[in-house]
């Protein structure tokens, strides 16, 4: 199963609210998870099963979607949110999307 | 608390075998799977393979012929061996705990491996 993330790069200013997209090549129900990776750090999980929150993750991060189309929303981007975001599916083996880089405008 | 830490050589010669160790704490290898993920410089993440609580293994089909994953539960360690290394295997190698066979909830810091003569 292939995951396509868009856009590849998103330039925003702090305070903006944004949506990142992840599209699966076939239906994966809600077996889709989101990660954030800051430079020179390991990824950390933000959202599990498309929309379920993770303990310790700020509430400005939320997820939605099912089937083939998924969205990660960040409500009012903070300076520490500039990083790369990956989606990952677990419906059939495990694969990651190519990532979306969130950068400062 | 849950921790994972990778260790191994930073430099491997082409055609040689890479051996990495992931030492875990805060959970039992008999209860959770541990997965290896690699990330070439400036690129994305790729699942390599993993070992589950029952000791069974799964491998990415693209790497299966070169990859072996094993464990020592008494030492809380998971091992990765990959042979016939090429320059394109240069990457950061992470081990991560897999929750419910689905998502990766804890990650090691990663180890950079360079394949070069």
Mind telling me how many Å the CA of A43 is from chain B's nearest CA?
A: 7
Mutate to test the interface with A, among B102, B103, B106 (most CBs of A within 10 A): B103
Residue A54 and residue A44: Cα distance in Å, rounded?
A: 10
Mean pLDDT over the full length of chain A = 97
Q: Which of residues 12-51 of B touch A (CB under 8 A)?
A: 35, 44-47
Q: Are A102 and A77 a contacting pair, CB within 8 Å?
A: yes
| Angle formed at CA B51 by CA B47 and CA B53, multiple of 5 degrees | 135
Percent share of chain A, pLDDT over 70: 100
Cα torsion A54, B37, A93, B34: sign: negative
Tens of pLDDT, residue by residue, chain A (105 residues): 999 999 999 999 999 999 999 999 999 999 999 999 999 999 999 999 999 999 999 999 999 999 999 999 999 999 999 999 999 999 999 999 999 999 999
B59 touches chain A (CB under 8 A): no
Q: In A, which residues are within 8 Å of B44 by CB distance?
A: 86, 96-99
Test the B interface: residue of A94, A95, A98, A101 with most B CBs within 10 Å = A94
Residue numbers in B near A44 (CB within 8 A): 107
Residue of A22, A42, A57 to mutate, interface with B, max B Cβ within 10 Å: A42
DSSP B51-102: E-TTS-EEE-TTTTTTEEEEEEGGGTEEEEEE-S--GGG-EEEEEEEEETTT
pLDDT band, residue B97 (cuts 50/70/90): very high
- Quote the pLDDT of residue B65: 96
The distance of Cα A80 from the centroid of its chain, to the nearest Å, equals 15
* Gyration radius (Cα) of chain A, Å: 13
Average pLDDT over residues B41-53: 96
Q: Determine the average pLDDT of the residues in B53-72.
A: 97
The answer to whether the CB atoms of B103 and A33 lie below 8 A apart is: yes
With cut-offs at 50, 70 and 90, classify the pLDDT of residue B50: very high
Please give, rounded to a whole number of angstroms, the shortest distance from the CA of A92 to a CA of chain B.
10
């Amino acid at each position: 199963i292939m995951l396509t993330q868009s856009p590849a790069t998103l330039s925003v200013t702090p305070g903006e609210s944004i949506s990142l997209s992840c599209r699966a090549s076939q239906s994966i129900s809600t077996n889709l998870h989101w990660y954030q990776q800051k430079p020179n750090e390991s990824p950390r999980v933000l959202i599990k099963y498309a929309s379920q929150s993770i303990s310790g993750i700020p509430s400005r991060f939320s997820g939605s979607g099912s089937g083939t189309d998924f969205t990660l929303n960040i409500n009012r981007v903070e300076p520490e949110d500039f990083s790369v975001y990956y989606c990952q599916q677990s419906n059939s083996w495990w694969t990651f999307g190519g990532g979306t880089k969130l950068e400062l405008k | 608390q849950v921790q994972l830490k990778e260790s191994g050589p930073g430099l491997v010669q082409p055609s040689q075998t890479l051996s990495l160790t992931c030492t875990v704490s805060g959970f039992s290898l008999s209860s959770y799977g541990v997965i290896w993920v690699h990330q070439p410089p400036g690129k994305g993440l790729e699942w390599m393979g993993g070992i589950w609580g029952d000791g069974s293994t799964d491998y990415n089909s693209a790497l299966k012929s070169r990859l072996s994953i094993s464990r020592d539960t008494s030492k809380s360690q998971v091992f990765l061996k990959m042979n016939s290394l090429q320059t394109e295997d240069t990457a950061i190698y992470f081990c991560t705990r897999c929750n419910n066979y689905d998502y990766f909830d804890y990650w090691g810091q990663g180890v950079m491996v360079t394949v070069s003569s």
